[in-house]
Structure 1
Amino acid sequence: MPDFRIEITYSDGETVVADFKPAIAKGGVFAELNDPVFFKRFKIGEEGRYIEWPNGLDFCADGLRHQSMISL
């Protein structure tokens, strides 16, 4: 089973692991991320403010940090 997690290191040195499985499980606009090949095609957005996929789906870096801390 694919991992669907991305390790993110922020400018202050903090590293979190963002788990995208809960979003993917919702389906809808997140369904395409369930393809492991597509999932790996993410890019870091302008000034590291977001992660984006070729279909335009993006996640705010600060939101991912906050969500990762809640999941601990």
Structure 2
Amino acid sequence: MIKFMLREVKSVYPLKNYHLILEFDNDEYRIIDIKPFIKGSVFEPLKNPAFFKQVKVDPDAGTITWPNGADLDPAVLYEKSAPFKLPGEDAAKSF
């Protein structure tokens, strides 16, 4: 049996080309390409880079959201993202 831990997003950092760096509640940083999720009318505004950058964390839902109400399931965000190392992260752990 696989034990699944629900993860919540603590912070989000928008990057170019529809990528986001996400910080999860386990203090893990992960990076995700949102392009595959930009489908349907609610996600259409995200194609505008200025609108895409307006992403915020909804602390009540534990996920990311945009001003028009578009959001993504935090479990999907975690599953579809890849681990992201911050510069100097390995060096900091050695102290």
TM-score range, shorter chain: 0.7 to 0.9
Matched pairs, number: 67
Relative contact order: is structure 1 or structure 2 higher (C-alpha 8 Å, sep ≥ 6)? 2
Which residue does the alignment assign to 1:11? 25
Q: Which among 4, 10, 20 is matched to residue 34 of structure 2?
A: 20
Q: Percent identity?
A: 34
Query: Considering only CA atoms, is the larger Rg found in Structure 1 or Structure 2?
Result: 2
The answer to whether the aligner puts 1:42 opposite 2:42 as a matched pair is: no
Q: Which runs of 4 or more aligned residues in structure 1 lie more than 3 Å from their structure 2 counterparts after TM superposition? A: none
**Structure 1, gaps ≥5 residues long:** none
Point out the structure with the larger helix share.
1
**Structure 2, gaps ≥5 residues long:** 1-15, 83-95
| CA apart distance, 1:3 | 1.2
Structure 2 CA distance, aligned partners of 1:59 and 1:21? 12
